[in-house]
A and B are shown apart, each in its own frame.
With several copies, the nearest count.
Chain A
């Protein structure tokens, strides 16, 4: 290649990032996807929309979130670690960035209702939150198993005025909630927007969600400059669908920073998957030799997804980002270490990224390496589960 490649720009006209992406949806949803693409393109080019998006995230969502230097963890690991504090965003994770964008777009498209899928409930709570604020009605699809495991989050969504529908098909978890939301969307696409929760699904979702999340990376880049740190050696984030990772990578894709996405070992689409088509996108998927999708298994519900956003599949292919996997056993010690040393209890999802730092410090990460960790969410939602697990161990 002669001219240096530009990463994390727009996908091509077919919604492709390299070989990945696209729009593999039933005809009944094509019109909605096309309309959404047009609406998003227009809105994102409209200063008024962009300003409103930033304004809402500022006055309602708690942005900018700070960058915290994790001095004690740094000393402990011999690194210099900075955390982008998405745990401080409203509803407790980066998910709010995306839903604020999509609900504003919903209004702009003249629709009065949103539907969403959710696994553990984070995206569902965020969607219900943003919908409440705009007076949109909201229905959230959630695997029946997850509604039982996360009964409190179901109630939280209901408090926010949303209807939660348990999904009884398939493995009754996140993957099936996505299927069901897509199915339901078919029958209400006229007045309803499907507020997808990560950088996945058919075009324009992977691109749009990444754009909404890229505020994380842009803020962090500016904040690190202001702190005199400049470009970190490594930018690391956990990856479920990949939205928080995409959001922070976006701020550093065209720098020298090494980008690392940490998947759950039981849902490591890049490490253990193969290319395929699911949920409207061509990406890396965990599937059998016949193309049947397998269930992901992770201690953290938010990483319990057998796929990954297509742009990540591309970034891996292009060797621009590296994807690694962390097993369940390393997650809780990482959560404990960050809690004890820094007074921040991270989400189990986020703890995967911390676990990778612990594993690699002194190995692939030389002493003194500067690291920007995307602290994608807070652990309050996980505390009961962690307690059960630790009790079971002792």
Chain B
């Protein structure tokens, strides 16, 4: 079992609903300060987006963030250099598209990430069928490969994915790209489908943007992932303090609830 999963299972055993914020690496000069702020405010793990020019499953907010990061010259290497200076005490998870890793070289990319305390990776355009090579590059370096389950995923596939995912299973709360903010979602059903076939922690993402939504999700999952809602604030100039407050607002509802 990957160290990430060990950590996250422990959280669950401790009755804690995890909160996982997402940052776009290199989007601003002080992006690491935002990451630190989130960790200080109680984030349990942090997704670090490595920007890609054509982010197929991301909505406009993450797209803009990626554009800014790329304009600032962000690369896998620059992110790794940055992360080498960071010590936040919670696991970091890389989130990016496959082509970025391919071009870094799968083994080399995995090695670079592992070296700077990245303990998991989410590659949304890399379904299980295509990920053997990447998964093995990660496996030898204790980098968990995290897979998504979508509302459209049929039962048999849920089983396969839930068995394969490491750290947690990313339950996509809604048939939409990141950053859509409509109210209705399928998070509960997706999480239940995963739980029906596996005891891997289940975190809900895509469709959680407010503490209220997080509170609603908490009963049926082990954690929530919030990306666009946070990144939107950062695009608008949020400070590390703003980030702390943002994270705390989620922390509060997740901790308050006795699920």
List residues of chain A with CB under 8 Å of any chain B CB. 14, 22-28, 30-32, 169-170, 175-176, 179, 182-183, 186-190, 275-280, 285, 287, 289-293
In the complex, what residues of B have CB within 8 A of residue A289's CB? 103
In the complex, what residues of B have CB within 8 A of residue A189's CB? 152, 175
In the complex, what residues of A have CB within 8 A of residue B151's CB? 28
In the complex, what residues of A have CB within 8 A of residue B157's CB? 30-31
How far is A290 from B78 in the complex, measured between Cα atoms in Å?
11
Chain A residues touching B, majority SS: mixed
Given contacts A27-B124, A170-B67, A179-B56, 8 further A-B contacts (CB under 8 A): A169-B60, A183-B57, A275-B102, A278-B99, A279-B56, A287-B103, A291-B104, A292-B100
Given A24-B98, A280-B125, answer yes or no on A292-B52 (Cβ-Cβ < 8 Å): yes
Name which residue of chain A comes closest to B74, CB basis: A290
Given A26-B125, A31-B153, answer yes or no on A276-B102 (Cβ-Cβ < 8 Å): yes
Name which residue of chain B comes closest to A30, CB basis: B127
Q: Tell whether, in the assembled complex, residue B127 and residue A27 are in contact, meaning their CB atoms are under 8 Å apart.
A: yes
Given A24-B98, A287-B103, A293-B99, answer yes or no on A187-B150 (Cβ-Cβ < 8 Å): no
Q: Min CB distance, A205 to chain B, in Å?
A: 14
Given A24-B98, A27-B153, A187-B176, answer yes or no on A14-B129 (Cβ-Cβ < 8 Å): yes
Name which residue of chain A comes closest to B103, CB basis: A291
Q: Tell whether, in the assembled complex, residue A23 and residue B129 are in contact, meaning their CB atoms are under 8 Å apart.
A: yes
Q: Min CB distance, A115 to chain B, in Å?
A: 14
Q: Is B154 an interface residue (CB 8 A)?
A: yes
Residues of B in contact with A, size category: 35 or more
Q: Tell whether, in the assembled complex, residue B54 and residue A179 are in contact, meaning their CB atoms are under 8 Å apart.
A: yes
Given A186-B176, A280-B125, answer yes or no on A293-B54 (Cβ-Cβ < 8 Å): yes
Given A26-B150, A30-B153, answer yes or no on A290-B103 (Cβ-Cβ < 8 Å): yes
Q: Is B76 an interface residue (CB 8 A)?
A: yes
Q: Is B75 an interface residue (CB 8 A)?
A: yes
Name which residue of chain B comes closest to A274, CB basis: B103
In the complex, what residues of A have CB within 8 A of residue B153's CB? 27, 30-31
Q: Tell whether, in the assembled complex, residue A25 and residue B177 are in contact, meaning their CB atoms are under 8 Å apart.
A: no
In the complex, what residues of A have CB within 8 A of residue B48's CB? none
**Residues 64-80 of chain B, each 1 if its beta carbon lies under 8 Å from chain A, else 0:** 00010010000110000
Q: Min CB distance, B64 to chain A, in Å?
A: 8
Q: Min CB distance, B110 to chain A, in Å?
A: 15
Q: Tell whether, in the assembled complex, residue B175 and residue A24 are in contact, meaning their CB atoms are under 8 Å apart.
A: no
**Residues 141-154 of chain B, each 1 if its beta carbon lies under 8 Å from chain A, else 0:** 00000011111111
Name which residue of chain A comes closest to B70, CB basis: A292
Q: Min CB distance, A39 to chain B, in Å?
A: 15
In the complex, what residues of B have CB within 8 A of residue A285's CB? 99
Q: Tell whether, in the assembled complex, residue A26 and residue B56 are in contact, meaning their CB atoms are under 8 Å apart.
A: yes
Interface-centre pick from B148, B152, B161, B176 (highest chain A CB count, 10 A) = B152
For window 4-51 of B, CB contacts with A under 8 Å fall at: none
Given A186-B176, A291-B104, answer yes or no on A27-B150 (Cβ-Cβ < 8 Å): yes
How far is A290 from B26 in the complex, measured between Cα atoms in Å?
15
Name which residue of chain B comes closest to A182, CB basis: B56
Q: Tell whether, in the assembled complex, residue A292 and residue B53 are in contact, meaning their CB atoms are under 8 Å apart.
A: yes
Q: Min CB distance, A192 to chain B, in Å?
A: 11
How far is A190 from B152 in the complex, measured between Cα atoms in Å?
8
Q: Min CB distance, A336 to chain B, in Å?
A: 33
Given A175-B54, A287-B99, answer yes or no on A27-B161 (Cβ-Cβ < 8 Å): yes
How far is A292 from B100 in the complex, measured between Cα atoms in Å?
7
Q: Min CB distance, B245 to chain A, in Å?
A: 30
How far is A27 from B175 in the complex, measured between Cα atoms in Å?
10
Q: Is B209 an interface residue (CB 8 A)?
A: no
Name which residue of chain A comes closest to B154, CB basis: A31
Q: List 27 A-B contacts (CB under 8 A).
A: A23-B127, A25-B56, A26-B56, A26-B127, A27-B124, A27-B150, A27-B153, A28-B148, A30-B127, A30-B150, A170-B63, A176-B54, A186-B57, A186-B177, A189-B152, A275-B102, A276-B99, A277-B99, A278-B54, A278-B99, A280-B125, A290-B75, A290-B100, A291-B52, A291-B99, A291-B104, A292-B70
In the complex, what residues of B have CB within 8 A of residue A175's CB? 54
Q: Is B88 an interface residue (CB 8 A)?
A: no
In the complex, what residues of A have CB within 8 A of residue B228's CB? none
**Residues 104-141 of chain B, each 1 if its beta carbon lies under 8 Å from chain A, else 0:** 10000000000000000000111101100000000000
For window 158-191 of B, CB contacts with A under 8 Å fall at: 161, 172, 175-177, 180
Given A14-B129, A186-B177, A276-B103, answer yes or no on A27-B56 (Cβ-Cβ < 8 Å): no
Q: Min CB distance, B72 to chain A, in Å?
A: 13
Q: Is B89 an interface residue (CB 8 A)?
A: no
Q: Min CB distance, B4 to chain A, in Å?
A: 20
Name which residue of chain B comes closest to A276, CB basis: B99
How far is A76 from B100 in the complex, measured between Cα atoms in Å?
49
How far is A26 from B126 in the complex, measured between Cα atoms in Å?
7
In the complex, what residues of A have CB within 8 A of residue B56's CB? 25-26, 179, 182-183, 279-280
In the complex, what residues of A have CB within 8 A of residue B102's CB? 275-277, 291
Name which residue of chain B comes closest to A293, CB basis: B53
Q: Tell whether, in the assembled complex, residue A24 and residue B54 are in contact, meaning their CB atoms are under 8 Å apart.
A: no
Q: Min CB distance, A22 to chain B, in Å?
A: 6
In the complex, what residues of A have CB within 8 A of residue B104's CB? 290-291
How far is A187 from B57 in the complex, measured between Cα atoms in Å?
11
Q: Is B59 an interface residue (CB 8 A)?
A: yes
Q: Tell whether, in the assembled complex, residue A27 and residue B149 are in contact, meaning their CB atoms are under 8 Å apart.
A: yes
Q: Tell whether, in the assembled complex, residue A291 and residue B172 are in contact, meaning their CB atoms are under 8 Å apart.
A: no
Q: Tell whether, in the assembled complex, residue A186 and residue B175 are in contact, meaning their CB atoms are under 8 Å apart.
A: yes
Name which residue of chain A comes closest to B60, CB basis: A169
In the complex, what residues of A have CB within 8 A of residue B175's CB? 28, 186-190
From the candidates A24, A32, A287, A291, name the one contacting B125 in the complex (CB within 8 A). A24
Name which residue of chain B comes closest to A22, CB basis: B130
Q: Tell whether, in the assembled complex, residue A27 and residue B147 are in contact, meaning their CB atoms are under 8 Å apart.
A: yes
